[in-house]
Every structure is written in structure tokens, then in C-alpha cells.
Amino acid sequence: MDLIDQPQGNMPGNTPEFSVSEISGAVKRVIEGEFGRVRVRGEVGRVVVARTGHMYFDLKDDRAVIAAVSWKGQVARMKVRPEEGMEVIATGRLTTFAPQSKYQLQVESVEPAGAGALMAMLEARRKQLAAEGLFATERKRALPYLPRVIGVITSPQGAVIRDILHRLRDRFGVHVLVWPVAVQGQGCAPEVARAIAGFNALPEGGAIPRPDLLIVARGGGSIEDLWGFNEEIVVRAAAASDIALISAVGHETDTTLIDHAADQRAPTPSAAAEIAVPVQADLAAHLTTLEARLIRAGAQSVALRGQRLRDLSRALPRPEALLAPAIQRLDIWAERFPGSLRAALASKGQELRSIAAGLRAGAIIQQIGKGQERLSDRAGRAERAILTSLDRHKTRLDALERLRQSLGYPATLQRGYAVVRDQAGKVLTTARAAQDQALVQIEFTDATLDALPQKPGASRRLRKSAPPEQGDLF
């Protein structure tokens, strides 16, 4: 659509009128027609990823800024995701966004603007993670000498997994668990990080054995192909692994950030398998050598100790010389024993006779008489004490009996009172309770009478009954 300039003055002249949508559509057609597909080089500014998965970022240089957008599907296909401060070459097409009256670049792919820019970004990330201590030597764990289970994180296709399994089978037979992941592209970093965390999450003694060692492996490639192993999520997962981890990414000249966070780096995946387990034949030969050395050392030790014992035995005296003094002492004691025994018997007999002379019958009878007098005296005192105690308790019991009789209800009846009971013998304490009975019993001090409760218009009748049985206190 051609736009005609406005003539001078306030008069509209013959200039046509356009709606806002017409102008916006015309601009859109011009921009998209002139810039159908372009490659734009610039520095990445702010980067925002929406919840929908679309990415919005800026491309700028020292004089201008272009807004850029990548839709969710385009973001998933990116080999390198733009980061703030990164110099890139963005490929896409220019278009407009009418609601905000702006133009923007719809980016289909992003690539670093030369290896220098990518390496500069990689070095900045390495310094940041190193400052956090993720590459510190004291964090690295020693590899198990002979792991029973090895977890391999790699692509299930390709020569890498075949080389690792072949090398492990040749060296030492171990149980291998393979966690399939993408080893390049947008899904590489999250899948590798999840695999490391997944192996660490396996419980001890579970249905799936927990690995003793992990190997993260990939073949060689360009820096863009290996970029997933430089992502921060992968480095942090490797540093946080409780299982010892070997990084075998790329060839010997390739270096990624996971190599710094791993417990050990292998130049190739095959070398990782060689580091992980020893050669079974070498182990058997080494054990045989150790066994022979142990046997020789034992035989030599026994021989040396036997020679030492023989040397020491020559310095010892003869057994007869050692036993002669003791034999002589035993003979002397044997000769002295009978005389010593007779002297001891004579001494004890004299002592016994002295003791028997002191045992006279009169003294014994006298001691028995004194004991009987003491026993009689003690018995008399005990008898008098018992009688006194009984008198005291009897006096106390008589006093309690008098108190019982004075406080009992028969004494109260003797003072002019009476007790009213129903036919069951229950005491009635109110007139209403007595009127409800067909017959009541009135107990006096000398007898008990049956009575009919007084009703309106009726006279009271009494009937003598047998006194209730009074229980004995004793």
C-alpha cells in the first residue's frame, strides 16, 4: 500500500485515511518481505523463560537493541541456549508485534559467535563453580578397589557402551547397570543430572542393587556437542553424588566442567573401565605371588625361631644340676619329719591334760545353780509384768464398756425416747415416711409395739411385739 504525503496547511486534501490495523499490517508486510530470514550477531541481554516454555531475550550492540523471541519447540531444538553476556549469532526472521507497536526477531537457532566467546563463557562458569568449592580436592572420594556394581550413564546406542562393557568383561566380571541418557542436545544436561541423582537414590539392599561406582561416558566431539556436560545442573549433580564418580567425556584432549567435579577423570570411556576394575588375571597372579611370599616368610620365621631356641638351650644348665638342691632339701625334711611329729603330739597331749585338770564337777554344779537362780529371777519379773499389763488392759476395757452403754441408743430410750421402724426394720425419721407404711414398729426401753400410722378420721392402734434382739458387744 502506498502512503501519500500530507499537503501543507490544515486542509486534508486528497490524502486517504488508514486504520491502525491497516498501518500495522502494512508495516508487518514490509518488514517480513525485506527481512525474510536473517542472521544477527550481538550480545545477549536479559533472558526470560516463560512458564509456557517460550524464551524472550535481547540482542544488543553498542548502539541498538533488538527484542528476540524463541517459541517452545525452537528452544527445545537449540544446541546452545543463550545466556546473558554471551555473544551469539541468532538465525531467524524479523516480524512485528502489533499490540506493542514493536518489531522483534523470531529466533530459530543460536550459535556462539566464535569459539572464543564460548570458551570465555565456559571459563567464567568454571571460576564461579570453583569459587563455591565444587572442584575442591578434599571433596573427592577414593574409588572402590573392586566394585561389585557399576552404574554407567551414557547413550545405549553407539560404540561407547560397547567399549566399556567389553573392557569390563575382559578385566573383571562385575554387575553393570546402564542408565540411558541423551549425550548431546537440549535434553542432555537434565537427563544426566537426573541419572546421577537416580543412582544415588537407590536404597541399599533394594530390588535394584545400588552401584558402588558411577561412570559418565560420551565419545569425542566439538565443544558444542559436549556442551551439555558443561551445564551447571550436571556439575552440581556430580559434586553432590555420594557414590564415587568417574568422568569419561570426550577424548583425551577434551575437557568439560564435569571432569573437575568428578572424583576422577578418564581420558576415554575405555580408560574409565580400566580405572574402575583391575585385571582378573593380574589379581590372580598377584595373589599367587603374595601366597608364595607368605609361605616363604612363615617357613623362614619358623626356621629362625628354631635356631634361636637351640642357641638359647645350649646356654641352659643340665636338668640334674637344677633339681639337685631341691632333692637334697627333700631328703633332709624326710629325716626330720618323724621326730617333729612325735614332739608335736607330746606338746598337744600336755596341753590337753592341763585343760582336763581344770574341769572339776563342783565348779560345774556351782555354775549351773547360779544359772538357775538367774533364770528364776527373770521368770518372776516376766510374770509380774504380764499380770500388770493384763490389769491395765482390763481397766481400759471396763471403761470402754461403760462408755458404750452410756452412748448406745438403749440408754437414750431410758431417757424417754423411742425408735420408729418399718416392717423391714428400717428406721423412719419423718412423719410422712411413717404415714406411707401400712404398719410401723415403735421401740421403747422395755418393749416394742406395732402401730398403724394415723390416717385422717381414724384412731391409732398399738400392738405389742417382741423387742428386737440386741447384739452382744463381745
The architecture in CATH of the region 20-113 reads: Beta Barrel (2.40)
pTM listed for this prediction: 0.46
Q: Residue 126's closest CA among 15, 274, 275, 231?
A: 231
Edge-to-edge strand ranges of the sheet holding 264-265:
175-180, 149-154, 213-218, 244-249, 264-265
Structural domain spans, the chain: 20-113, 121-134+147-281, 411-465
Pairing label, strands 65-70, 87-97 = unpaired
Q: Which helix (H) or strand (E) holds 73?
A: helix 72-77
418 and 442 Cβ atoms separated by less than 8 Å: yes
Residue entry with cell 561412570:
215
CA distance 258 to 272: 14
Integer Cα distance of 73 and 199 in angstroms: 30
Contact 70, 107 (CB under 8 A): yes
Pick the CATH number of 121-134+147-281 from 3.40.50.300, 2.30.40.10, 2.40.50.180, 3.40.50.261: 3.40.50.261
Residue 448 and residue 442: Cα distance in Å, rounded?
5
Angle of helix 269-276 relative to helix 159-171, nearest 10 degrees?
A: 30
102 DSSP β-pair partners: 97
pLDDT tens, per residue, the chain with 474 residues: 444 444 454 555 677 888 888 888 888 888 878 887 888 988 888 889 888 889 999 998 888 889 999 998 888 888 778 887 788 888 998 888 888 888 888 998 888 776 566 677 788 888 888 899 888 988 898 999 889 999 999 998 888 999 898 888 888 878 999 999 998 887 889 999 999 999 999 998 889 999 999 999 998 887 778 888 988 999 999 999 999 999 999 887 788 899 999 999 999 998 998 888 887 777 778 888 899 899 999 999 999 999 998 888 888 877 777 788 888 888 888 888 888 888 999 998 888 888 877 776 777 788 888 888 888 888 889 989 999 999 999 999 998 888 887 777 777 777 778 888 888 888 888 888 888 888 888 888 788 888 888 765 555 555 555 555 554 544
Beta-carbon-side half-sphere exposure of residue 172 (alpha carbons within 13 Å): 19
In this structure, which amino acid lies at residue 277?
V
DSSP H or E stretch at residue 39: strand 38-49
